[in-house]
Structure 1
Amino acid sequence: MQAGSGGKLAGDIAQALALPGATLSFHLKELLTAGLISAEQRGRTICYRAEFVAMNELLAYLTENCCADEQSCERPAGC
């Protein structure tokens, strides 16, 4: 998200998060499958970008449905 529409290379993400490549690959694959990120091959590496429309839709859904079935739900400020 912080990289904006330019995205970030997989190696840069791994370094910033101090994650092993296999762990990062697993999580990026899941985000890709969910449509929350996109990927573009750049030479021998991959550039990942957040899909902002999908991310915003997910946040809106989660905010709208926060504790929907609980009477005593304490929503964070702004919900």
Structure 2
Amino acid sequence: MENGIGICTPFVVEVVWAIFIAPKAAIPVSVPLTNVLKISLFSLAALTLFLTDKKGLAAVFLVVAFINMALLHLFKLS
């Protein structure tokens, strides 16, 4: 199961990011939906780390991702 998660998660993240979130996205979405997608993808990445027994790294990644998103929102950079 760990190999499948490790292979599938980056692929799913890449596809969703390219289609909906990237600056030149094929299907641009609103800012609130973009933020929801970002949170979902970062959470999926943290979950993948957690399920592959990298619990500390998962926690650090999730905290840094949310702090980054909060600062981007605070300074209106997203």
Q: Normalization by structure 1: what TM-score?
A: 0.31
Bigger Cα Rg? 1
Greater strand share, 1 or 2?
A: 1
Greater helix share, 1 or 2?
A: 2
